[in-house]
Amino acid sequence: MTLAATSLLSTTLHAVRPVDEQVRIAAQQRQAQLTKPEGSLGLLEAIGNQLAAIHGAVPAPVPSHGVLGVFAADHGVYDQGITPWPQEVTVQMLVNICYGGASVNALAPETGTQVWPIDVGVAAPVPDAPGLRRMRVRSGSDDFTRGPAMSRDEARTGLEAGISVAQEAVAGGADILLTGEVGLGNTTVAAAVIAAMTGSDPAATTGRGAGADEAMLARKVDAVHRAIAVNRPDPADPLGVLSQVGGLDIAGMAGLMIGGAAAGVPVVLDGVISCAAALIAVGLAPEVRGYLFAGHNGREPGIRVALDALGLPALVDLGLRLGEGSGALVALPIVRSGARILKDMATFAEAGVSGKSA
């Protein structure tokens, strides 16, 4: 990989420390002393142990200041007829989020999470709106069925936009970050990134997104095949994959993950577009994986393919197929529950509860 030695991306990638495996073992040992049969709280125990390994101490504090970064971008592959919605919905939904009318605005108060809407690569002008962050790298990407979606430099700048958002959030007190996006056509882009990074068949990574019918699904799969045939992405070069068959929403989310990990802060993933971004982030710095929680498994088949490759269990499965960060937001209380178990339960000795007799 050729990155300027002093770029924000390269310094942040180098700053990511592996989570502390000794602390994870100490957390496991504490779980065994708490007043429950060992392992009886399943994934909640693993979550608490993971948070402790991230934090570097047992127990970890309960994450209570969340920031959801919603990265908005448009995609040149839109022209291939791969979504039933007009492209202007990207701007309209971004503005809707700014004014508080989207799914994420309805869900965020449940955990007191802040929603940060970010234009990282929308095609059309975006009117002024409350809370909008303007970080546009370029106005939409190129059609990746004809050549690369963007240059490597633009992909790096998109990653750095996400890193900056993570840094600003953490400096403002965020102790957990969540990923989200809007961008019409981005389930096709995610399918291409997941196919490129995992070597999977595009038919296994491509889904119906925001409502494709059978014929449109076939066009999506065909577009992903052509993207890979034309660009020949190399999974050993994640920045190359991102620039060839990715998008700026994915770049921003991958940057948020890298920036969060470098700051020692956990990151909760949303749906298929977040999962594609996670493959890029972990491809660039494998240690990032230890900071990630897979919020949910939803309807898009690429989620399962990506999470299997990452080795991350999904926390919930509610049959969601929306994105924006909706799945990350509904998973956050579960992450917090895992932290509370390790922090707040009494041990057998403290509570005077007898241990196992056989």
Ligand X SMILES: O=C(O)c1cccnc1
Contact between 82 and 188 (Cβ < 8 Å): yes
Q: Is residue 283 a contact residue for ligand X (CB under 6 A)?
A: no
- Cβ at position 177, least distance to ligand RBZ in Å: 18
The residue with its CB nearest to ligand RBZ is 209
String of contacts with ligand RBZ for each residue 204-223, x by CB under 6 A = -----xx-x-----------
Q: What is the four-CA torsion angle of 11, 252, 69, 228, rounded to 10 degrees?
A: -140
Residue 321 contact partner, candidates ligand RBZ, ligand X, none, CB within 5 to 8 A by sort of partner: ligand X
String of contacts with ligand RBZ for each residue 309-328, x by CB under 6 A = -------------xxx----
Cα angle: 47, vertex 175, 270; to 5 degrees? 60
| Distance separating alpha carbons of residues 73 and 140, to the nearest angstrom | 6
Residue 270 contact partner, candidates ligand X, ligand RBZ, none, CB within 5 to 8 A by sort of partner: ligand X
Q: Is residue 273 a contact residue for ligand X (CB under 6 A)?
A: yes
Q: Is residue 249 a contact residue for ligand X (CB under 6 A)?
A: no
| Distance separating alpha carbons of residues 114 and 97, to the nearest angstrom | 12
- Cβ at position 335, least distance to ligand X in Å: 18
Residue 21 designated active-site = no
# binding residues, ligand RBZ (CB under 6 A): 18
Q: Find the part of the chain contacting ligand X (CB under 6 A) among 40-48, 217-225, 310-318, 320-328.
A: 320-328
Contact between 254 and 242 (Cβ < 8 Å): yes
State which of positions 97-116 bind ligand X (CB under 6 A). Answer: none
DSSP state of 34: B
Residue 233 contact partner, candidates ligand RBZ, ligand X, none, CB within 5 to 8 A by sort of partner: none
| Distance separating alpha carbons of residues 87 and 250, to the nearest angstrom | 17
By beta-carbon proximity to ligand X, the closer residue of 9 and 272 is 272
Task: Write out the two tokens for 340.
Answer: 């509370």
- In this chain, which of 181, 254, 281, 295 binds ligand RBZ, going by CB under 6 A? 181
Smallest CA-to-CA distance from 58 within 89, 19, 87, 92 is with 19
Helix 186-198 × helix 248-262 angle, to 10°: 60
Q: Is residue 95 a contact residue for ligand RBZ (CB under 6 A)?
A: no
- In this chain, which of 271, 290, 295, 338 binds ligand X, going by CB under 6 A? 271
Task: Write out the two tokens for 269.
Answer: 């993933």
Q: Is residue 48 a contact residue for ligand RBZ (CB under 6 A)?
A: no
Peptide bond connecting 86 to the previous residue in cis, omega within 30 degrees of 0:
no
Residue 183 contact partner, candidates ligand RBZ, ligand X, none, CB within 5 to 8 A by sort of partner: ligand RBZ
Residue of 21, 45, 324, 350 marked catalytic: 324
- In this chain, which of 31, 113, 141, 188 binds ligand RBZ, going by CB under 6 A? 188
Contact between 65 and 176 (Cβ < 8 Å): yes
Q: Is residue 148 a contact residue for ligand RBZ (CB under 6 A)?
A: no
Across the strands, what pairs with 119? 72, 134
Residue 272 contact partner, candidates ligand RBZ, ligand X, none, CB within 5 to 8 A by sort of partner: ligand X
**Sheet arrangement for strand 114-121:** 133-134, 114-121, 66-73, 176-182, 267-269, 292-296, 314-316
Q: Is residue 272 a contact residue for ligand X (CB under 6 A)?
A: yes
Please count the other Cβ atoms lying within 10 Å of the Cβ belonging to residue 309: 18
| Distance separating alpha carbons of residues 230 and 72, to the nearest angstrom | 26
Cα-flanking dihedrals φ and ψ of residue 135, to 5°?
Answer: -135, 35
- Cβ at position 288, least distance to ligand RBZ in Å: 23
By beta-carbon proximity to ligand RBZ, the closer residue of 268 and 342 is 268
| Distance separating alpha carbons of residues 12 and 3, to the nearest angstrom | 12
Q: Which residues bind ligand X (CB under 6 A)?
A: 187, 209-210, 270-273, 298, 300, 321-323
Active-site residue set: 324
The binding site for ligand RBZ (CB under 6 A) comprises 83, 85, 89, 93, 181-188, 209-210, 212, 322-324
